[in-house]
């Protein structure tokens, strides 16, 4: 129901339709300043956009425009003025493990270690049966 209503609204926004000799139908959008463009998508990308458009009840074109608008609305200084990208505060009392990054699940969740140090090099641990 929602998708059908969206399609009807999209059809209502089209001002004029013309057919050229080779049978191609050309539509002019009601919104001024729109430019028609063509892109190539992988089958996976196309399927994703179809699913998302159906889920949101809108056309693929409007979904793509919305995604582009979201990216265009990001602040200019997002990557230069972001406190989450600042280096961490140095804490001299902090004592970590030298294998924190490669055995993170072990330290966070208690799973078995995936790597161990053998003769100065980190090697994968054989899975336990």
In tens, the pLDDT along 10-54 reads 555 544 455 555 666 556 666 778 888 899 999 999 999 999 999
Q: pLDDT value at position 83? A: 86
- The conformation of residue 18, written as its DSSP 8-state character, comes to E
- Cα–Cα distance, 36 to 62 (Å, whole number): 13
- Cα–Cα distance, 36 to 115 (Å, whole number): 53
Question: DSSP alpha helices (H): ranges in the chain?
Answer: 2-13, 43-56, 60-72, 104-109
Quote the pTM value. Answer: 0.42
């Amino acid at each position: 129901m929602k998708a059908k209503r969206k399609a009807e609204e999209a059809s209502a926004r089209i001002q004029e339709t013309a057919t050229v000799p080779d049978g191609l139908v050309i539509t002019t959008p009601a919104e001024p300043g729109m430019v028609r463009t063509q892109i190539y998508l992988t089958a996976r990308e196309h399927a994703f956009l179809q699913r998302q458009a159906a889920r949101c009840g809108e056309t693929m074109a409007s979904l793509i425009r919305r995604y582009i608008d979201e990216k265009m609305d990001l602040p200019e200084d997002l990557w230069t003025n972001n406190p989450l990208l600042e280096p961490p505060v140095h804490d001299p009392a902090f004592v970590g493990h030298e294998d924190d990054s490669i055995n993170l699940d072990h330290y966070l969740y208690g799973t078995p270690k995936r790597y161990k140090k053998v003769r100065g090099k980190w090697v994968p641990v054989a899975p336990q049966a």
